[in-house]
Every structure is written in C-alpha cells, then in structure tokens.
Structure 1
Amino acid sequence: MTNSMPTRGQLERALSQRIQALYRNQLGHRLGNVDCQIFDEKIAIVLENAVTQPEQLLASNGKEDLVEQIHSDISEAIQPQLRELIETTVGVPVVDLLADTKLETERTGMIAVLSDSPRVRAVNGSGAKS
C-alpha cells in the first residue's frame, strides 16, 4: 500500500494542475504558473497571471478600487471549490484558506491551513510523514 501513497512532489504537482483547471473551467481564465509547496499542516500557493483581462482593462482605466472589489468577490465565490479541491487532493480537511492578490504583479498568494499533515511517501529518506 505504501507504493500507492503519493510523494510530496506528486501532491504539489497534482494540486497545481487541478487549480489551473478550476480557474480555466470556472472563470475561463488561463493562469500562468501555479506553484504549490506543502509545509506540514500548511500549503503555500502562488498563482501567476491571476488577474483576468477585464480586470486588467478596468485597472488600466483607473478603476483599481472596482477591480479589487470584483477580484475579492470572485475569490470569495470560488473559495468553497478551492477548499474542496485541496481537501480532495491532499486528503486532509482545510481549516482556513487565506488569499490576497497584488494587482501590480498580477499574483495571488494563498495559504491553506490543514487540520493535519497530508500523508506522503518518503523519497530517498527525506523524512516525510508516511
């Protein structure tokens, strides 16, 4: 059964791919790179190119406050699906999901706080939980 348990890297890659697919399917927006790092009971997620074209257009026309409100509303609306996606992928409940976006760099940073560390297969004696 140990062989069926994913490595930390496999979980991080699967999570990145599923987040990209969620944004593409739900928002019609293709993110740039999605980086995920699992740190025990926390996951750090960085979304590149997280600001949509309509949001970019509004921001370039001096409507930054409106863009921040729209982006916040979209993030709030998609958060339950993100929580479920993270929980399904890593097999651990999400206690809290924190997110913020910088319009200037078009990056969104997220921290998922988990109820426990995901179970992963150790690779080359890395000491990961199994």
Structure 2
Amino acid sequence: MAEDGEGPLWYRGLATSEEAPLAAHVDQVLANFGVQHIVIGHSVTAGTVMTRHAGKVIMIDVGLSAVYGGPPACLVIENGKPYTLHRGQKLELPEGGADPLPYLKAAAALDPQPSRLQKLIDQLEAQPAGAARLGRVG
C-alpha cells in the first residue's frame, strides 16, 4: 500500500487526471467525510496554490523546495473560505467553476518577473472562449 501508485500515499489522479470522469468520485468523498474541500500535496503546481474540480480539490504543493524554486505560498481557510497567501498577499481562490485567470494574474503580479505562472496564463488565454479551463493543471 505504501508504495502502490494507486494507494492513498501516491495517488495523483485528483491532480493530474481529466476532471469529468472523477466528478462523482470527488462529490462522494466530500459527502462521505462531510467536508467542503480535499487538500492535496505531492503534485507540484505551476507556482501557486491551485484549485480543481470547481474548487473542491485544492493543490497546495507550490514547489517550495530549492529544487523547484517555488514562491512562498500557502493555503489559508477562514470561515470555510479558501485563500492563498502568495508572497504575503491574501488572494481569493477560484471556486465553483470561476475563471482562474484573474487569480493567476494577481498571483503572477506578485512574483519576480518573469513569473513561473506566465506560461499557464498564456496557455489559458490561448484557449477558445468558453473552453473548460484547468481540466489539467501543469
């Protein structure tokens, strides 16, 4: 179990798999535990705390290790609402399918330039209008 890629210590499907096939599973896990969010680590994000599954899954591994050179960022939950503390500034996390671009641009503006987030921002801006954004986070 400890070394199984599908086991609870190594499973990365909520961070890397397409969202639609996992939607019912995510909802069932939340209902079973009576919680609003699943917080996961060990899958490095593009450079800030990221949400998936309409904000129900929160990815917190921003790559703080010197290997990744990630920014000082962490998850803050106040009164049940998730925020990122990104380089000392509190930013509201996108939830409920909200467009992530305003959040990503706000985080990128706090980074030394060029921001590691810019590549993801460029990819999202290149998608056709109305396209599902962040089906997979890189």
User: TM > 0.5 between the two?
Assistant: no
Q: Name which one, 1 or 2, has greater alpha-carbon Rg.
A: 1
- Bigger relative contact order, structure 1 or 2 (CA pairs below 8 A, ≥6 apart): 1
Task: Calculate the TM-score normalised by the size of structure 1.
Answer: 0.26
Higher share of residues assigned helix: 1
